[in-house]
């Protein structure tokens, strides 16, 4: 049996293991090792570092922290406890995967507003925020307010980007005032304006989702309905091109103001308030509600194709294009993962269980099929690797009141807003692992 100085633990009971990794720069020889069952993650990390130093992959004074997985689940205690809890077969060689430990995101910038922040939406270099003071704000990542927009009569409930140009931004916002507005906003604190007012909902419009083509969006409301609207910034009729006159560009055309739009489609089926909506595919919409259901809709026909039923009210959903899983959060305080493609089996996959309050917001990593962020009324954001369902990777404690919204559009930044009137920009360190692998 092999021994190493890096393992300062009792060697009376050992198992045969093989280490492997998807990090090509940290690959060690595929040689089975005899490891004490009392070894923990710190011991295993020391062993991998020792092997990397022996292979001249690392300088002697450099140490890398690693996490370890057996059978797709994180090892959080000793090997003995993990093997017992997960019923791991040890008669053969145990395969142990190691990945570089994810550093904790840290709050790089805090922005204070005048009231609760209900919604944030991130572009490449700007942040939109919707507030209970009836205002929409536009920020850069240094915390500078580029503009503020006062077009709604009551609290803002959701905001979403349409597009951002060099000098102007176009976005959609919804409100407790039952309207949705498509606005044009200069990036230099110039006068912003409402281009279109979307009317049709009869109660607060709490959620918005823009289609990937930026030409339409979906809304969900306390009136229990979903509606699809045009997001086209041009009038619906074609421009004339008589006598060789060139068609005007969007910037040359200019916009009439406050033109009323009606919905292209209304979808009914939910029996309580619609709390979250998103586009999962080109013609597929997902929604969740306080009626304890997640519904899958055909966006072309408006038909409810499939319904997933939970035990309590849902507040939020997020969809991973990598894993094809839906993450949901709500009144039961658990993040739940669902595979809505399954029709005859277990649609519910697993629960992530560490929040102490209602879960208010979720967002999958843009590049990693295993990682997501969740926000809760317990004032915390939790960074999860779904392979560690009972213990989050990190707890982000910057908020002093309920976390209301979160966005992880850009890999480097998690942006959150809360009832403490703060937007917090968290910088995320390190490259995501497992963005394109097919393991689950």
Q: What is the pLDDT of residue 258?
A: 85
pLDDT digits (tens, 9 = 90+) for 229-265: 999 998 654 333 343 334 444 444 445 688 999 999 9
For residues 177 and 281, state if they share a domain: yes
Q: CATH no. for residue 222?
A: 2.130.10.10
- Long-range contact list for 340-343, CB < 8 A, 24+ apart? 340/280, 340/286, 340/294, 340/296, 340/306, 340/308, 343/306
For residues 124 and 250, state if they share a domain: yes
For residues 264 and 185, state if they share a domain: yes
7 domain residue, yes or no: no
Three-class SS state of 425: strand
β-strand pairing of 335-338 with 326-330: antiparallel
| H or E element that contains 380 | none
For 211-325, where are the E strands, in sequence order?
A: 216-221, 226-230, 259-261, 265-267, 274-281, 284-289, 293-298, 304-309, 314-319
Q: What is the pLDDT of residue 91?
A: 87
| pLDDT averaged over every residue in the chain | 90
4 domain residue, yes or no: no
Residue 1 pLDDT greater than 60, yes or no: no
| H or E element that contains 14 | strand 14-20
Q: What is the pLDDT of residue 239?
A: 35
Q: What is the pLDDT of residue 59?
A: 84
Q: CATH no. for residue 46?
A: 3.10.20.90
The average pLDDT across 70-99 equals 92
Identify the residue whose tokens are 């039923």.
309
- Residue 45 has phi, psi (to 5 degrees) of -65, -40
Residue of 408, 382, 433 lying closest to 320 (CA atoms) = 408
155 domain residue, yes or no: yes
For residues 51 and 111, state if they share a domain: no
For residues 283 and 372, state if they share a domain: yes
Environment class of residue 119 by beta-carbon count within 10 Å: exposed (0-12), middle (13-18) or buried (19+)?
buried
364 domain residue, yes or no: yes
Q: Is 407 within 8 Å of 120 (Cβ atoms)?
A: yes
Domain end marker among 100, 128, 144 = 100
Residue 124 binned pLDDT confidence (cut-offs 50, 70, 90):
confident
Q: What is the pLDDT of residue 252?
A: 40
For residues 96 and 146, state if they share a domain: no
Residues 6+ apart with CB under 8 A from 76: 41, 82, 388, 390, 391
For residues 182 and 310, state if they share a domain: yes
For residues 160 and 90, state if they share a domain: no
Q: Is 398 within 8 Å of 406 (Cβ atoms)?
A: no
Q: Is 308 within 8 Å of 340 (Cβ atoms)?
A: yes
For 390-431, where are the E strands, in sequence order?
A: 394-396, 403-407, 413-418, 422-427
Residue 201 binned pLDDT confidence (cut-offs 50, 70, 90):
very high
For residues 58 and 123, state if they share a domain: no
Residue 425 binned pLDDT confidence (cut-offs 50, 70, 90):
very high
pLDDT digits (tens, 9 = 90+) for 22-78: 989 999 988 898 999 999 999 999 999 999 999 888 887 889 999 999 998 999 899
320 domain residue, yes or no: yes
Q: Which has the minimum average pLDDT: 82-86, 131-135, 295-299?
A: 82-86
| H or E element that contains 51 | helix 41-54
414 domain residue, yes or no: yes
Owning domain of residue 55: 14-100
Q: Which has the minimum average pLDDT: 1-15, 73-87, 109-123, 269-283?
A: 1-15
Residue 102 binned pLDDT confidence (cut-offs 50, 70, 90):
confident
For residues 208 and 65, state if they share a domain: no
Domain end marker among 84, 100, 116 = 100
Environment class of residue 427 by beta-carbon count within 10 Å: exposed (0-12), middle (13-18) or buried (19+)?
middle
Domain end marker among 76, 100, 124 = 100
Residue of 394, 371, 382 lying closest to 322 (CA atoms) = 371
The count of structural domains within the chain is 2
Q: What is the pLDDT of residue 12?
A: 57
Angle ∠(13,15,20) on CA atoms, nearest 5: 145
The length of the chain is: 440
Residues 6+ apart with CB under 8 A from 251: 165
| H or E element that contains 103 | none
Q: What percent of the chain has pLDDT over 70?
A: 90
Q: What is the pLDDT of residue 410?
A: 95
For residues 79 and 117, state if they share a domain: no
Residue of 58, 75, 60 lying closest to 19 (CA atoms) = 75
440 domain residue, yes or no: no
CA 175 to chain centre: 22
Q: Which has the minimum average pLDDT: 113-122, 235-244, 377-386?
A: 235-244
For residues 131 and 259, state if they share a domain: yes
9 domain residue, yes or no: no
């Amino acid at each position: 049996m092999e021994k190493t100085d890096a393992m300062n633990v009792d060697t009376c009971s050992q198992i045969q293991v093989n280490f492997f990794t998807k990090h090509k720069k940290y690959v060690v020889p595929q040689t089975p090792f005899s490891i004490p069952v009392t070894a923990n993650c710190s011991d295993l990390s020391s062993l991998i570092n020792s092997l990397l130093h022996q292979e001249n992959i690392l300088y002697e004074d450099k140490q890398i922290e690693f996490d370890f997985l057996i059978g797709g689940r994180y090892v959080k205690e000793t090997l003995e406890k993990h093997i017992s809890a997960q019923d791991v077969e040890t008669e053969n060689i145990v395969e142990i995967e190691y990945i570089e430990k994810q550093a904790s995101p840290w709050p790089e910038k805090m922005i204070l507003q005048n009231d609760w922040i209900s919604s944030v939406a991130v572009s490449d270099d700007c942040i939109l925020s919707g507030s209970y003071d009836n205002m929409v704000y536009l920020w850069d990542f240094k915390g500078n307010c580029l503009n503020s927009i006062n077009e709604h009569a009551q609290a803002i409930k959701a905001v979403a980007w349409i597009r951002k140009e060099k000098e102007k931004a176009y976005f959609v916002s919804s409100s407790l005032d039952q309207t949705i507005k498509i606005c044009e906003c200069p990036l230099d604190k110039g006068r912003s304006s409402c281009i279109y007012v979307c009317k049709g909902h009869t109660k607060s419009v709490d959620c918005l989702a823009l289609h990937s083509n930026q030409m339409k969006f979906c809304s969900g409301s306390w009136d229990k309905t979903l509606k699809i609207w045009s997001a086209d910034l041009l009038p619906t009729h074609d421009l004339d091109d008589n006598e060789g006159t060139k068609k005007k560009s969007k910037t040359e055309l200019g916009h009439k103001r406050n033109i009323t739009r009606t919905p292209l489609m209304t979808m009914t089926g939910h029996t309580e308030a619609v709390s979250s909506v998103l586009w999962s595919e080109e013609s597929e919409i997902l929604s969740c509600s306080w009626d304890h259901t997640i519904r899958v809709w055909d966006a072309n026909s408006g038909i409810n194709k499939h319904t997933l039923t939970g035990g309590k009210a849902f507040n939020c959903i997020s969809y991973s294009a990598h894993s094809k899983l839906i993450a949901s959060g709500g009144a039961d305080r658990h993040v739940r993962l669902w595979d809505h493609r399954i029709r005859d089996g277990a649609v519910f996959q697993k629960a992530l269980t560490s929040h102490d309050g209602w879960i208010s917001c979720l967002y999958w990593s843009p590049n990693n099929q295993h990682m997501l962020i969740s926000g809760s009324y317990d004032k915390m954001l939790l960074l999860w690797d779904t392979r560690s369902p009972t213990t989050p990777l990190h707890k982000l404690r910057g908020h002093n009141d309920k976390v209301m919204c979160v966005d992880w559009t850009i890999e480097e930044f998690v942006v959150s807003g809360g009832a403490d009137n703060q937007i917090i920009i968290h910088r995320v360190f390190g490259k995501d692992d497992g963005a394109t692998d097919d393991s689950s």
